[in-house]
Amino acid sequence: MTSNDNREAGIGDDHSNMSNFHESPVFFADPSAIEINSDIEYSNWNDDIPYLNFQSNEEIQNPNDPEVVSLGVSTNEINNDGNSSGSTKRKRKKSRVENENNSSPRRCNCKKSQCLKLYCECFASGAFCNEECGCGENCFNNPRYLDTVVAAKQKLKTKKSSAFDRENVREGVTTTKTSSTERRGCNCKNSECRQKYCKCFQAGVACTEACNCQGCQNPCGTACPGNSNYQQ
């Protein structure tokens, strides 16, 4: 029925010719050269320019490593394409989203969000998409459309001042209390916080009072009183 869909961040209908990113995935020759409206509040790293500050390699190692748990045994069998060059190469093909090295967050596979909404993990974490993402040509979250990306971010920040605060984006679980209305937690109803559907569990942290989970069984523990594994 109603219908206006893709017209969020002022995305025109003409950018069809975006083909692929530049050979250099993510680098700004001159970050400071990128001037943005001074109206924008520069609060943190990715506020304006994603990837401007790499998180280096000190990413916290989540107890529940996505799927990098081990190269030999994973939740899903390793997907070996059996493609070229020897099969002994146990280079985990990206079955889903994972950070091959350390930098980039998980890779997305967005299809309809254009990677300009929080649906996109890349965008949500303040990072550009890159070739490893499966978003392909639907993606606007790359330096080529910096204006659009910045606009989309600013738009979100208008709604939520702390939309892209570093802590908030950490793993989808907010631990900061910048404002009084800044409580973020899971609201699991059917997973009992035992699967990665639960962002708390996915982040490797226990559920807290901020969560509204039902029947929480977060293996990482839960601070929700009334739960069986309280203070596990």
Rounded to whole angstroms, the Cα distance separating 160 from 190 reads 28
CA 79 to chain centre: 23
CB of 95 vs DNA, minimal distance in Å? 8
The residue to which tokens 């394409």 are assigned: 81
Which H or E run contains 194?
Answer: none
Of 8 and 167, CB closest to DNA: 8
3-state DSSP helix/strand/coil % of the chain, to nearest 5: 20, 0, 80
Binding mask 109-148 for DNA (x = CB under 7 A): xxxxx-x-xxxxx--x------------------------
Are 203 and 191 contacting, i.e. CB atoms less than 8 angstroms apart? no
Task: Give the binding site for Zn ion (CB under 5 A).
Answer: 108, 110, 115, 120, 122, 129, 133, 135, 139, 141, 185-186, 188, 193, 198, 200, 207, 211, 213, 216, 218
Query: For residue 4, how many other CB atoms are within 10 A of its CB?
Result: 6
Say which entry of DNA, Zn ion, none residue 129 contacts (CB below 5 to 8 A, set by partner kind). Zn ion
State which of residues 28, 44, 74, 172 lies at the interface with DNA (CB under 7 A): 172
| Residues of the shown chain interacting with DNA in the complex, contacts defined by CB under 7 A | 2, 5, 8, 66, 75-76, 96-97, 106-113, 115, 117-121, 124, 156, 172, 185-192, 195-199, 202
